[in-house]
Structure 1
Amino acid sequence: MSIKKTLWISCGVLILISIFSFNFMNSDIKNTKLHYLIRQPKIKTENPPLLILLHGVGGNEQNLFSFAPDLPDHFVVVSARGPLTFGPNSFAWFQVDFSTGKPQINEQQAENARKMLIEFIDDLKTEIAFDSNEVYLMGFSQGGIMSYSVALTAPEKVKGIAVMSGRLLPEIKPLMADEKRLQNLKIFISHGKQDAVLNHQYAIDALEFLKTKNLTPEFHSYNEGHTVNKQMFDDVNLWLNTNINR
């Protein structure tokens, strides 16, 4: 992974340090079809596993898609654009305010985005072929938040999630599926110990909470900030290759 790719993912989110609230040009995300990019699998099968990439706040569908050529060959890879517009080529899943020193979310937007992503998985079935039992979400920062939110409330839709530099919203816990429905969910968590946007403690808290639900996430910490470096990418790639049913 090049330094350019690492910086590209980081820059869209580090803006949060200095901006406390966003004036979105699109505040209503209901009935909005998500724009996406697609990489067809390099190894052709009738119903390939699906990997959906979810960018962070201030980013776009191009960010994580820059990694697509190096993601596992069996996957059809889809990179989705968040429904809220922050600026030119800058999007988000929900509005967040850092003025108190801790992230305060727009709960309705976050809930709308959660439902939209669940519908998005179903809608993709009408456009591309994939194995409905082999759907994975891979999200960075706010995209990682959305990965938790979708998978923990609708585990029948998702086999596994890779959460990079994200957090588990407290608002999602009351909506979570029961342990029986969650029992087969695969979870990968990675986080930088020097993360100044979403503190490393968020990852530890999520890990400990998920263990109480009899889930066993694979957890990785790095001496990094709010970014994805080569080691993080290599680790998530190995996890994806290990867990797909091929």
Structure 2
Amino acid sequence: MIKLLPYIEINPNIAPIASVIWLHGLGADGHDFEPIVADLKLPKNLPIRFVFPTAPDRAITINQGMIMSAWYDIAQLDPNKHDEKGIFESEKMIGQLIEHETARGIPSDKIILAGFSQGGVIALHTGLRYPKKLAGILALSAYLPLGERLKTERSKENINTPIFMVHGITDNIIPIQFARLSYNVLKQLNYKIAWHDYPMEHSVCTEEVNDISQWLQAIYFTS
């Protein structure tokens, strides 16, 4: 039997018709983005289940080997240097969570992968390679890893899947130019990608949450 990542979930008052799997950033856990569900102010006629997994603990090189929850190791702040083993391990674990949702009655094309920072990196990586159609991919303050390999590794099923990248203009953790480079790569590969940036650092702001809410509703009310 497959052992899933630990997660918390927030369910609507009626049976869900869709799911959002939301991945936290480095050193956080599944509770980190729990409050965003209320902040999104989604209409009652859009019953979505939110699933917030917690990443495994691992040593983080850039933090002097400190053990913390992480989707992959970080050796240096370089968008071209990646912990491929950790990234692909996380891809597999998130794939299992998607399959768990489909087993609970949510079709894959009603599932959105979302994430902040490291979580957004894994959402982009996994969503673009997932073999079944997804509803959308949301990346907050993140970038695309292994972009040079995407053309050969990507899933045909998700070439037309909507992507939303949002980023802080003064982000000093993942500089906005990293994200813009990723946006350009995805644009050149003809993905349906939207971009918004905000006057903030490596964080989340009210305007961003409102834009995410509108994006979610546009996907689910038109699909």
Give the TM-score taking structure 1 as reference length: 0.77
Match of 1:209 in 2: 185
Give the counterpart of 2:35 among 53, 66, 90: 66
Alignment match, 1:184? 160
**CA RMSD, aligned part only?**
2.4
Q: Deviations over 1:194-230 (max 9, x none)?
A: 1111110122112111111211311101111111111
Describe the SS at the equivalent of 2:108: coil
Say which SS state the counterpart of residue 27 (structure 2) adopts. Answer: coil
Q: Is the 8 A contact 1:121 1:157 kept in 2?
A: no
- Find 1:97's aligned residue among 75, 78, 81: 75
Q: Deviations over 1:70-94 (max 9, x none)?
A: 3434211111111235699941111
Specify the code of the residue in structure 1 equivalent to 2:82: I
Specify which of 77, 81, 92 is matched with residue 50 of structure 2. Answer: 77
One-letter code aligned to 1:230: T
Q: What is the number of equivalent residue pairs in this alignment? A: 209
Give the conservation status (yes or no) of the 8 Å contact 2:39–2:209.
no
Which residue of structure 2 lines up, in the alignment, with residue 41 of structure 1? 12
Kindly report which structure 2 residues correspond to 1:48-59, keeping only aligned pairs within 5 A, or say none. 48-59=17-28
Encode CA deviations 1:135-173: one digit per residue, 9 max, x unaligned: 001100001001111111115242201100001002652
Task: State the match for 1:8 in structure 2.
Answer: none
* 8 Å CA contact retained: 2:71, 2:90: yes
Do the aligned partners of 1:32 and 1:83 also contact (CA within 8 Å) in 2? no
User: Is contact 1:60-1:89 (8 Å) kept?
Assistant: no
| Equivalent in 67, 80, 84 of residue 107 of structure 1 | 84
Alignment counterpart, residue 97 of structure 2, candidates 120, 127, 136:
120
- Tell me how far 1:112 sits from its aligned partner: 0.9
The equivalent of 1:144 in structure 2 is 120
1:32 Cα deviation from its structure 2 partner = 4.9
The 2-side partners of 1:183 and 1:102 are apart by 26
CA distance, structure 1, for counterparts of residue 89 and residue 191 of structure 2: 26
Shift of 1:113: 0.7
Distance 2:127 2:28 in 1: 22
Structure 1 unaligned regions, length at least 5: 1-30
Q: 1:196 aligns with which of 162, 172, 177?
A: 172
CA shift in 2, pair 1:214/1:155, >3 Å: farther
SS for the counterpart of 2:109 is coil
1:53–1:137 CA contact under 8 A, matched in 2: yes
TM-score, normalized by length of structure 2?
A: 0.84
Matched, 1:242 2:218: yes
Cα contact 1:58–1:90 (8 A) shared by 2: yes
Residues 133 and 158 of structure 2 are in contact (CA less than 8 Å); yes or no, is this contact kept in structure 1? no
Percent pairwise identity: 25
The alpha-carbon deviation at position 238 of structure 1 amounts to 1.0
Higher mean C-alpha displacement, 53-62 vs 152-161: 152-161
